[in-house]
A = this chain, B = another copy of it.
Amino acid sequence: MATIYDVAKLAGVSPATVSRVFNGASVSEEKAAAVRQAAAELKFVPNRTARSLRRQSSEVIALVIPDIENPYFTEMARGVEDVASEAGYSVVLCNSDARIDKEQAYLRIAILEQMSGVILAASSDRTDLEDLLRAGRPVVAVDRGTSYDIDRVVMANRDAGRAATQQLIDAGCTRIAHIAGPEHIETAAERVGGWRDALEAHGMPVPTELLRFSSFRVDGGREAMAELLALPEPPDAVVAGNNLLGVGALQVLTERGLTPPAVGVSVIGSLPFTTLSPDVVTVVRLPARDMGITAARMLLERIGGVDEPARTVTLQGELQPAIAR
């Protein structure tokens, strides 16, 4: 691997000049050409590690998500990656497994590896960003907020919950359950709010026994749905709090021969790998990729030194109603 010194010697200039050429500082066109020529000849590429050590920062950003197997987050990851790699940054994808200790470990690594910044879908509202922020690394929150005053990109969760529920009301359902995510996660709580709103707006009672908090996972959806069906008065419809809960609920319904529209189903989030006809399940599509793109752009701005007050971008879901029944 050729170094900056090899190039300098071959081009007949100082190492500093070579560095300047590769960093866009002002260099006479003549020397710049010589440097480029020499660099090409030696197949020189700057050593990123050395640069990081000297600059005290590297062109790497961390993306910390709670579940790498959830298509919602991988879709977001693609958005982040597209923007980042366009700008010459690498993305390190970190799977916190929704565990605060693993998350913390990754955030530590982000500091140690001198990463330029972090995009974080926090595992809980007690995530500790002190060290990171003290080290001057910008952090952008995605999907869920944190307890810090930082940039964030979130979904219009309440609206999504309302729209999903509304659709079932319009279809004539009267006992509408809601399988929600963990109570302490902001997104879950907001979607519950939307479900409540829609019911109240129609003068319908808010049936607490039909509200189930669960994990944002398939098995959580399965359990909750099974419980709901075991009720003396089971629901005639259900709003799933995210894509995986929707899958779990639909699996249980299918197994019992209650495939929609036998029981109405609305899902907040997309069902990318479902085999159901899109006609029978209402989906509020959440623009995960856009969320990733937006977050990455904001982070790059912060890395670039933008210094305005913390911003919040809220993305709207898109209602894809089941065909009216």
Residues of A within 8 A of B (CB): 1, 45-50, 52-53, 58, 60, 68-69, 71, 74-75, 77-78, 81, 85, 90-93, 95, 105, 108-109, 112-114, 135, 218, 243-244, 247, 250-251, 254-255, 271-277
Contact = CB atoms under 8 A, between A and B. Distances in A.
25 contacts: A1-B135, A45-B108, A47-B112, A48-B112, A49-B49, A49-B52, A49-B114, A69-B272, A71-B71, A90-B92, A90-B109, A91-B92, A92-B92, A93-B93, A244-B273, A247-B274, A251-B274, A254-B275, A254-B277, A255-B277, A271-B275, A273-B273, A274-B274, A274-B275, A275-B276
Contact of A78 (B68, B78, B91, B92): B68
Contact of A247 (B81, B113, B135, B273): B273
A186 B273 CA distance: 24
A113 B69 contact: no
Given A48-B112, A49-B52, A92-B92, 9 more contacts: A45-B112, A49-B113, A68-B77, A77-B93, A90-B113, A218-B273, A250-B275, A251-B277, A274-B274
B274 A113 contact: no
A68 B72 CA distance: 11
A254 B259 CA distance: 13
